[in-house]
């Protein structure tokens, strides 16, 4: 993942233009409120996530894409749920998982919805794939899967791709979004 992110420009000077382009979309979205108060969280989360999405999928999502909005909300909710006492209990005593109630059950339901959504995004991103000429992280991962398809010890699989994409989105979005939200609060 780290090599792919570097290969596709993350952390390099050439990537600044993509960040500046997303900043323009972010500013345009702010201007739609015409000075009225609004919650920054969704806009910041979208813009930060779009930077990661450019590397993962090779495209950004519009701020009006309700399916993507829903997935980001589920990611955020799962981050909060993962830090809850009942999920800590579940992690310590997995047999609690048989209980039909609890925050761990909501976490599992959210994860299933996100898993399905990410599966569809990955399929869409890989439609125009040219083997050994990766355009984004999904292509690079699929190339690695192809290379290791005859290796029984290979850990490259569709399921691991989906989990990797999800983890990259969470890691790249939640942390940076929270830093920017705190920065805006501090400046306000």
Q: Which pLDDT tens digit goes with each residue over 19-32? A: 899 999 999 999 99
Q: Is the pLDDT of residue 11 over 70?
A: no
DSSP-derived secondary structure letter, 14? G
12 exposure class (CB count in 10 Å sphere: 0-12, 13-18, 19+): exposed
Mean pLDDT throughout 51-65? 88
Least confident of 54-68, 74-88, 105-119, 135-149: 74-88
* Residue 75: how many other CB atoms lie within 10 Å: 19
Check pLDDT > 90 for residue 152.
no
Q: Is residue 107 packed enough to be buried (19+ CB in 10 Å), middle (13-18) or exposed (0-12)?
A: buried
What pTM value is reported for the model?
A: 0.80
* Each residue's pLDDT tens digit, 78-111: 888 888 887 787 778 888 777 777 787 888 888 8
Q: Tell me if residue 152 falls in helix, strand or coil.
A: coil
Contact 75, 46 (CB under 8 A): no
Predicted confidence (pLDDT) at residue 35 exceeds the cutoff of 80: yes
Please give the mean pLDDT across all residues of the chain: 85
* Residue 24, number of CB atoms within 10 A of its CB: 9
Tell me if 63 sits within 8 A of 144, measured CB to CB: no
């Amino acid at each position: 993942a780290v090599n792919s992110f570097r290969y596709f420009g993350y952390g390099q000077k050439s990537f600044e233009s993509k960040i500046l382009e997303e900043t323009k979309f972010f500013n345009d979205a702010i201007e739609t409120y015409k000075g009225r108060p609004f919650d920054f969280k969704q806009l910041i989360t979208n813009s930060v996530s779009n930077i990661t999405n450019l590397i993962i999928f090779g495209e950004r999502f519009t701020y009006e894409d309700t399916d993507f909005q829903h997935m980001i909300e589920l990611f955020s909710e799962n981050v909060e749920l993962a830090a809850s006492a009942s999920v800590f209990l579940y992690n310590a005593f997995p047999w609690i998982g048989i209980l039909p109630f609890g925050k761990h059950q909501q976490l599992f339901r959210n994860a299933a919805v996100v898993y399905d959504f990410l599966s569809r995004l990955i399929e869409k991103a890989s439609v125009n794939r040219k083997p050994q000429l990766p355009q984004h992280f999904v292509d690079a991962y699929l190339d690695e899967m192809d290379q290791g398809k005859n290796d029984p010890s290979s850990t490259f699989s569709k399921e691991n791709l989906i989990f990797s994409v999800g983890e990259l989105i969470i890691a790249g979005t939640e942390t940076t979004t929270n830093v920017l939200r705190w920065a805006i609060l501090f400046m306000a």
